[in-house]
Amino acid sequence: LAARLAMWGRRLVGDTILVARSALRYTDNHISDEARIEPVFTELIAAHTRRMDALGLTA
């Protein structure tokens, strides 16, 4: 059961990132946009990892 829950958790965070990226409006400077957006996704993944660790699951 733990393996299935971990896989589901990874899928949720992956899907969240995909949906968020598709909803963003980029400017002509994609490199600058990525530099501004990347810390948000990094924190999202870090928070997900902390929650999964607290549940004893692998993120």
Contact 52, 4 (CB under 8 A): no
Per residue in 10-59, pLDDT (tens digit) is 999 999 999 998 898 888 888 888 899 999 999 999 999 999 999 999 87
User: Token pair for residue 19?
Assistant: 């949906």
What Å distances lie between residue 43 and 2, 4, 17, 28, 30, CA to CA?
24, 24, 11, 25, 20
For residue 34, what pLDDT is reported? Answer: 87
Q: Is residue 59 part of a domain?
A: no
The total number of structural domains that make up the chain: 1
For residue 29, what pLDDT is reported? Answer: 85
User: Token pair for residue 53?
Assistant: 């660790």
User: Token pair for residue 55?
Assistant: 């549940």
Give the structural domain span for 42.
Answer: 2-54
Q: Is residue 41 part of a domain?
A: yes
User: Token pair for residue 24?
Assistant: 């963003």
pTM of the predicted protein model: 0.77
